[in-house]
Amino acid sequence: MTSAVENTGMTAPRRAATLNRPNMVSVGTIVFLSQELMFFAG
């Protein structure tokens, strides 16, 4: 019974970490657009 309580306590911070993590599609889009901007500006 104590292991189940510890497991639920450990899964809650993981959910918080995934919620705080930025979306990979948005990060890739921003990086791609910044590279295109530097390419056409230079």
pTM, 2 dp: 0.48
What is the chain written as a DSSP string?
-HHHHHHHHHHHHHHHHHHHSPPHHHHHHHHHHHHHHHHHH-
Q: What is the pLDDT of residue 32?
A: 98
| Domain limits for position 6 | 2-41
How many independent structural domains does the chain possess?
Answer: 1
The residue whose two tokens read 């889009």 is 29
pLDDT digit string, tens, across residues 2-36: 555 555 555 555 566 566 888 999 999 999 999 99
The span from the CA of 42 to the CA of 39, in Å, is 5
